[in-house]
Amino acid sequence: MPLSRVRLSDVAAAVHGQGSVAVDRAVADFRRGEPIVIRDGDRAVLALAVEALTEDRLSRFVRLSGSSPSLAMTGRRAILLGLGSSEAGVVRVALSGTPTAQSLRDLVDPLAKPGVAPTVVAVTAARPTDGDSAAVALAKIARLLPAAVTAAAGLVDDRTLEDWARLEGLLVVEAGPVLSYPTDMARRLSRVGEARVPLAGAENTRIVAFRPSDGGLEHIAIIVGTPDPRQPALARIHSECFTGDLLGSLRCDCGDQLRGAIREIAEQGAGVLLYLAQEGRGIGLVNKLRAYQLQDEGFDTVDANLQLGFDADERVYAPAAEMLRQLGFSSVRLMTNNPLKVEALRHCGVDVVERVPHVFPSNDHNADYLRTKAVKSGHML
C-alpha cells in the first residue's frame, strides 16, 4: 500500500525505535539498502541510500511510496552538477518520471562514467530539520555517499504511520535524533579498557580505549609517561589514517605526524595523544579512497571531498574533549598546525593554552597535499 494512502486499520502494532537506538538500526538498514521512514513532527519521508540502490530496490521503493522518488543531496554537490546555486545544506531534487537506479547512482558519484541523466524538474532547499536533511545526514553517518532517494508522506497520523511501517517491515526514526547523532555519540563515551603498551621510543606508555554508546569504533588515548593533570598536558589529536599510519602511505603526512608526536611527547617527558576513529577527515576509508581517485584526476584534497558532496572536513572534536575530561585534563598545549582544531577544542570546553607547531618535511607525493592544507585550510606550515 502506498505511504500516502496509509490508514489506521492496516495493522495493530508498530515498529518504532527510540532515539539513538533507532538511529543505530537505521544506519544498518541504510548500509544494507533497506528503505526507512524518517519522521519530522507530523510529516515523514521514505528514504533509501542512493549508493545502495539496485533496480529491484528502487521498484520496491516506488511501490511503497506510491510515487516517483525525489533525490536528496548536499547543496554543494547540486551546485557542482549545475542544479542551481542554493547554498542550502541539503536540497531536494524533483525528477521527471521514474529514473533508473544506475542514473541516480551516476548523478551522486563524481567517479561514475557519464550516462543518461534523469530529467530534473525542480531543485528546492530542504529545511535543516526535515526528513530529507536527516536522510543525507544518515548516509554520512553510514559512511556512504551523502545522498538518498526520498518520497514525501505528507500529513500522517502517528499510529497510522507506525501501523503501515509494521506491515511493510520498515523502521521509523525521528529526524531530530539522526541530525544530533554525531555530536550525541561523541559526548557519550565509556572507558572500556586499558593496558601498559611499551612503544619504540616511548616505553612508559599506557593505552586507554573509549567506546561510544552506539557500540561503534573505539577512540584511543595514548598516554606517554605520567602527565600531571594540574598542568597543561602536551597533547596531540590525531584522526586515524589507515593508509598513512599503518601502511606508510606517502600521499599524506599522517604517519610522520603520529610517530613524530609520540616521539616528541616522550622527549618532553609526558603527554597524551588522542587517536580518533575519524578516517579521512570523517568521511570514512572508502570515501577517502574515492577522494584519492579524484585527486589523481586533478582535484586537490579539499575539492575532492566537495566533489563527493562532503564538507572539506567532517570531523567533530567532542570525543577528544570528553576523553580529556575523563582522563582528568582541563587544559592542553596542543600539537597542531591547524588553528581551526584549536578553536574547535576550545569550543568544546578545553583550555588550549598554546599551539605547538607540528611540521614535517614534504615528499614528492604529498607536496601538493600539504600546500593545499596551507592555502585552503589555513594550516600553518
What are the pLDDT digits (tens) for 106-142? 999 999 987 777 888 899 999 988 999 999 999 999 9
Tell me if residue 303 is catalytic.
no
- The answer to whether residues 304 and 283 touch, using CB atoms and an 8 Å cutoff, is no
Q: Evaluate whether the domain defined by 3-183 bears CATH number 3.90.870.10.
A: yes
Neighbours of 76 (CB within 10 A): 23
Neighbours of 332 (CB within 10 A): 27
For the chain, which ranges sit under pLDDT 70?
1-18, 85-86, 154-159, 366, 370, 373-381
Sheet-wide strand order for 43-49 = 120-125, 90-95, 70-74, 147-155, 43-49, 36-40, 172-174
- Tell me, what's the pLDDT at 161? 83
Catalytic residue among 315, 325, 333, 371: 315
Q: Provide the pairing of β-strand 147-155 with 90-95.
A: unpaired
Tell me if residue 39 is catalytic.
no
Catalytic residue among 24, 132, 256, 313: 313
* C-alpha distances in Å from residue 171, one per residue of 79, 193, 237: 32, 33, 36
Give 3-state DSSP helix, strand, coil % of the chain, rounded to 5: 40, 25, 35
- Tell me, what's the pLDDT at 242? 96
Query: How far, in Å, CA of 1 to CA of 377, rounded?
Result: 50
- Tell me, what's the pLDDT at 7? 39
Task: Give the torsion sign (CA, 94, 97, 100, 101).
Answer: positive
The residues facing 238 across adjacent strands are 275
**Backbone torsions φ then ψ of 268, nearest 5 degrees:** -80, -15
- The answer to whether residues 137 and 179 touch, using CB atoms and an 8 Å cutoff, is yes
DSSP state string for 125-182: EPPTTSHHHHHHHHHHHTTS-SEEEEEEEEE--HHHHHHHHHHHT--EEEHHHHHHHH
- Tell me, what's the pLDDT at 377? 62
- The answer to whether residues 212 and 186 touch, using CB atoms and an 8 Å cutoff, is yes
- Tell me, what's the pLDDT at 360? 79
- Tell me, what's the pLDDT at 118? 82
pTM: 0.88
The residues facing 66 across adjacent strands are none
- Tell me, what's the pLDDT at 55? 96
Domain residue limits, the chain:
3-183, 188-278+315-377
* C-alpha distances in Å from residue 38, one per residue of 126, 236, 267: 14, 38, 52
- Tell me, what's the pLDDT at 158? 58
- Tell me the CATH number for domain 188-278+315-377: 3.40.50.10990
Task: Give the torsion sign (CA, 369, 370, 371, 377).
Answer: positive
